[in-house]
A and B are shown apart, each in its own frame.
Chain A
Amino acid sequence: MRRVAYYKGCLASLSAKELDSSTKALAPMVGLELVELESVTCCGAGDIHEAEPDYYLHLNARILAYAEATGCDMLMTVCNVCTLNLRQANFMLQGDEELLARVNENLASVGVPAYSGKVDVRHFLWEIAEGEGYEALKQVAHRGLKGLKVAPFYGCQILRPSKIMGFEDPDRPWSLERIIEACGGEAVDYPAKVKCCGFPIIAAREETALGELIQPVEQAIEAGADVMVTPCPLCHLSLDAWQQKLEASTGRAFKMPVLHLAQLVGVAAGLEEAELKFKRHIVDPRPALERLEV
Chain B
Amino acid sequence: MKVGLKIWRYDSATGDRALREYEIEAPEEATLLDCLDIVKDRHDGSLAYRKSCRMMICGSCGMRMDGAAVLACKTRMYDIAQEGRVPVISAMGNLPIVKDLVVDMDPFWSKFKAMWPWLEPGYDRPDDGREYRISQERMNVIHKEALCINCGCCVSECNAMESDPEFLGPQALAKGMRFVGDPRDGATVERLERYNREHGIWDCTRCYFCNERCPKGVDPRDAIAKLGAESIRLGIDRDMGAKHAKWFVRSTETTGWLREEELIPKTQGYVSAIKQLKFGASLARHGKVRPVPIPHVARDVNEARNLRKVVQEQDREGALGIVQGERALARLAHGGGAESLEEIYARPGAAPRPFLPGDAEGGAVSPPGAGGSAGGASSAGEGSAQGQGSLTQADVTPGKEPTRKRGGE
Contacts and interface: CB of A to CB of B under 8 A. Distances in A.
Interface stretch (B7-15, B127-135, B247-255): B247-255
Nearest to A109: B310
Interface string B235-261: 000011111111111011000111010
Interface in A164-213: 164-175, 177-178, 180-182, 186-196, 198-201, 203-205, 207-212
B240 A48 contact: no
B81 interface: no
A162 B219 CA distance: 12
B94 interface: no
Interface in A236-251: 237, 241, 244-245, 249-250
A193 B390 contact: yes
B338 interface: yes
Contacts of A165: 338
Interface stretch (A13-21, A22-30, A255-263): A13-21
Given A42-B251, A166-B338, A50 B344 contact: no
Interface residues of A, number: 111
**Interface SS of chain A:** helix
Place the interface of chain B in its size category.
35 or more
A115 interface: no
Nearest to B287: A280
Given A40-B298, A282-B288, A59 B307 contact: yes
A253 interface: no
A275 to B, nearest CB: 15
Nearest to B320: A54
A168 B390 CA distance: 14
B120 interface: no
B119 interface: no
B307 A112 contact: yes
B286 A189 contact: no
Interface in B185-218: 202-209, 211-212
Most chain-B Cβ atoms within 10 A of its Cβ — which of A51, A55, A203, A245? A51
B267 A204 contact: yes
Contact of B325 (A92, A106, A175): A92
Nearest to B207: A196
Most chain-A Cβ atoms within 10 A of its Cβ — which of B204, B226, B260, B351? B351
Interface in B358-384: 360, 373-377, 379-381, 384
A281 interface: yes
A129 B347 CA distance: 12
B67 interface: yes
A171 to B, nearest CB: 5
B257 A14 contact: yes
Contact of A157 (B206, B243, B256, B324): B206
A172 B249 contact: no
B347 to A, nearest CB: 7
Most chain-A Cβ atoms within 10 A of its Cβ — which of B283, B316, B337, B376? B376
A162 B213 CA distance: 10
Nearest to B383: A172
A215 interface: yes
Interface stretch (B21-29, B41-49, B147-155, B391-399): B391-399
Interface of A: 10, 13-15, 17, 38-42, 44-59, 62, 88-89, 91-96, 99, 106-107, 109-112, 129-131, 134, 149, 156-157, 160-175, 177-178, 180-182, 186-196, 198-201, 203-205, 207-212, 214-215, 218-219, 222-224, 237, 241, 244-245, 249-250, 279-282
Q: Which 10 A-B pairs have the closest CB atoms?
A: A166-B338, A95-B328, A53-B321, A174-B355, A211-B163, A223-B376, A54-B321, A172-B389, A92-B325, A181-B360
